Structures are given as C-alpha cells and as structure tokens.
Amino acid sequence: MLTALVALGFYNPWMILAFSCLAGCGAAFTDPAWHASVGDILRKRDVPAAVTLISVGYNAMRSIGPAFGGIVVASFGPLTAFALATVTYLTLLWTIGRCKWNVRSSPLPREPLTTAMHDGARFTALSGEIKAAIARGALFGLTSISILALLPLVARDQLGGGPIALMSFCKARSAQ
C-alpha cells in the first residue's frame, strides 16, 4: 500500500512512519511463528545452527539495512526503495507458498488463541527467568537502537554528508 501511495505521489513523513509502525506490528505478530517453524523445516540437529544464522542475519540487516536504504533513497528516490521492499516481501510470500510442508499432527486438542495467549502471559508472569530475560532484552534493545537512530545525525554533523558519506566512512573503518 505504501509503495502504491508513493507511486501516486500521496505521501508525507507521518504517513511513512505510520506504515512503518504497521509493518513493525505485523513483524511482531509473525516473527514468533516464523522462528517457531524452523523446527518444522529442518532436522533437529540443524536447528541450533539455523537459529544462530537467523540471528546473525537479522542483526546484520538491522545495521546494514538502513545504510543501504539510505543509499537507495539518495540515489534512486523513495519509490525505488519501497518498490524493492515490496518485491522482497512478495518473493518471500511466493517462496513460502511453493514450499511443501510436512505437517505433523499433534495428539493434543486445539486450543483457542485467547486461552493460549492467557496461558503464555501467566507462565511468563510466574517465571523469574523469563522476566529477567525480557528485561535484559528490552534494556539492550532500547539502548542499542538509539545508536542506530543516531547514525543519520553522525553522518550529517560529523561526516558532513548523507548516507553515502556514512557508507564510505564505514567501509574505510572496516578496512583498517
């Protein structure tokens, strides 16, 4: 929808932020199921390596993705950036649709979603280890995301440029 609106010329920063928020909310709903499906796709012995690879890829894209997106926007405009994002999502959906899933039936009865959510929240509230892990993850996430949020200001104020200057700086630093 965002790509279509940008193509039609109907966009502003608030609309882009709103659609980005919706995309983040969608990811928050789909990511747990996506990560849980790793065990259904791979053999049990391959799951730890796959989970590690997914984590490395996710964190690498959180760092590299904004810089790459900035370069695409600066070089080709916002429509190209949104169109590339749309194509990657559609490619992913097409790939998932073509997969032949080996579904294992469970001996347990189906549980309503609201009951499962309530049980999960109750289990989390009663588990000190899970609450501590959530607190550590939230603290790390909130502090580390601020570094990524400040990168455009570093590029503008310290490097005197935009996304291309930031990429050149990062490449030079990694070569040292």
Per-residue pLDDT of the chain (176 residues; tens, 9 = 90+): 888 988 998 888 888 888 888 988 888 888 888 778 887 778 888 888 988 898 888 888 877 888 888 888 888 988 898 899 899 889 988 988 887 777 677 788 888 989 988 998 999 899 999 999 999 989 988 888 887 777 777 777 877 776 666 566 666 665 66
- First-to-last C-alpha distance (Å) of the chain: 42
The b/e string for 95-125 (b: 16+ C-beta within 10 A; e otherwise) is eeeeeeeeeeeeeeeeeeeeeeeeeeeeeee
Query: What is the per-residue pLDDT for 33?
Result: 81
Query: What is the per-residue pLDDT for 173?
Result: 62
Q: Scanning the structure block, which residue is given the tokens 């992913």?
A: 92
* Domain spans, the chain: 1-99, 126-176
Longest dimension (CA), the chain: 62
Measuring CA to CA, which residue among 7, 17, 149, 31 is closest to residue 81?
7
**Six-digit token string for 60:** 């690498």
In angstroms, rounded to a whole number, what is the distance separating the alpha carbons of residues 10 and 159? Answer: 32
Query: What is the per-residue pLDDT for 122?
Result: 94
Query: What is the per-residue pLDDT for 67?
Result: 81
Query: What is the per-residue pLDDT for 21?
Result: 86
The distance of Cα 176 from the centroid of its chain, to the nearest Å, equals 29
CA-to-CA separations, 35 to 31, 50, 167, in angstroms, rounded: 6, 10, 31
In angstroms, rounded to a whole number, what is the distance separating the alpha carbons of residues 22 and 40? Answer: 28
Query: What is the per-residue pLDDT for 162?
Result: 66
Query: What is the per-residue pLDDT for 169?
Result: 60
Q: What is the CA radius of gyration of the chain?
A: 20
In angstroms, rounded to a whole number, what is the distance separating the alpha carbons of residues 77 and 70? Answer: 9
Query: What is the per-residue pLDDT for 147?
Result: 78
| This prediction's pTM | 0.58
